[in-house]
């Protein structure tokens, strides 16, 4: 089952513009994470935001979390060609903090930065 | 540190053949995971392990077996491969216990591309 649904499925912008990707989920979560995947590679962790946090920043990345709407957004500012990749949100749907963290991934957003 | 490594990188099997995928991590992580990724899809959890000698089923465990005899290694086996198992397989690891209680980064290997004819 897909807990997280990313929107849009594909996004193409010009270099220097900002890119915004959204993620919606269905159940309560412990945390939400964003990962990047370059073509033919494994996933690389970008940001983790816990359920009691509303916003986090990391360099050119800004993530927001709205637990009342069960949604998150990833903003990449001043995009570069190297940002071209697929971006996945992953939720940890543990209601009680116990046991193994089992992330549930969305289908991803394919981001293309045009030079 | 090599991080998470996977062998082999590519493999082609015929229906009914068996194989084992090896995942190794050198970060002393307690938890290890096997995922599969199909075209245009996110990752789906096959099996996972919370420590040496323990394994558990994930979302799509049928047709796969796993073993974690050593903390640093997590093996994924296909006893009788089927075309539906054509996919890219990723291994990941993370801290466990209190270090993961608020959420923990998963570190991924580069993947194994498996084709079953």
- How many DSSP H helices and E strands does chain A contain? 0, 11
How high is the pLDDT of residue B6?
97
Ramachandran quadrant class, B16 (left: phi over 0; alpha: psi -120 to 50; beta: rest): left
CA distance A10 to B66: 35
Q: Mark the ranges of chain A whose per-residue pLDDT is less than 70.
A: 1-3, 94-99
Residue identified by tokens 């990749």 is: A85
Take residue A111 and report the two structure tokens written for it. 């981001």
Looking at residue B97, what is its pLDDT?
Answer: 66
Nearest CA distance, A1 vs chain B (angstrom):
8
**Confidence (pLDDT) at B98:** 59
Chain B residues with CB under 8 Å of A23 CB are none
- Mapped onto helix, strand or coil, the DSSP state of residue B100 is helix
Cα–Cα distance measured from residue A66 to residue B17, given in angstroms and rounded to the nearest whole number: 47
Whole-number percent of chain B with pLDDT over 70: 95
* Cβ separation A102–B106 shorter than 8 A: no
Reduced to 3 states (helix: H, G, I; strand: E, B; else coil), residue B86 is coil
> Average pLDDT in the B99-117 region?
87
Mean pLDDT of the B16-41 span = 94
- The pLDDT, as a whole number, for residue A28 is 87
Cβ contact B102–A30 (<8 Å): yes
Interface check for B97 against chain A (CB to CB < 8 A): the answer is: no
Nearest residue to B21 via CA among B80, B73, B57 = B73
Q: Please give the Cα distance from A87 to A110 (Å, whole number).
A: 6
Q: CA-to-CA distance for A69 and A25, rounded, in angstroms?
A: 9
Per-residue pLDDT tens digits for B63-86: 999 999 999 999 999 999 999 999
């Amino acid at each position: 089952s897909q807990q997280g649904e990313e929107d849009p499925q594909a996004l193409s912008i010009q270099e220097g513009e900002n890119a915004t990707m959204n993620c919606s989920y269905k159940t309560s979560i412990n945390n939400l994470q964003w990962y990047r995947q370059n073509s033919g590679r494994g996933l690389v962790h970008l940001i983790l935001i816990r359920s009691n946090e509303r916003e986090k920043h990391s360099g050119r990345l800004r993530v927001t979390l709205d637990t009342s709407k069960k949604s998150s957004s990833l903003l990449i500012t001043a995009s570069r060609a190297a940002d071209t990749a697929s971006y996945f949100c992953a939720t940890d749907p543990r209601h009680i903090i116990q046991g193994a963290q089992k992330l549930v991934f969305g289908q991803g957003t394919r981001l293309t930065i045009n030079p | 540190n090599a991080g998470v490594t996977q062998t082999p990188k590519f493999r082609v099997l015929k229906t009914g053949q068996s194989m084992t995928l090896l995942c190794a991590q050198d970060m002393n992580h307690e938890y290890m995971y096997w995922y599969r990724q199909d075209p245009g899809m996110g990752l789906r959890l096959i099996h996972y392990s919370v420590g040496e000698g323990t394994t558990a089923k994930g979302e799509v465990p049928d047709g796969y077996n796993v073993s974690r005899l050593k903390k640093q290694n997590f093996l994924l086996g296909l006893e009788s491969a089927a075309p539906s198992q054509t996919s890219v397989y990723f291994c990941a690891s993370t801290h466990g216990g209190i270090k993961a209680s608020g959420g923990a980064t998963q570190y991924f290997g580069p993947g194994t591309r498996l084709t079953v004819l």
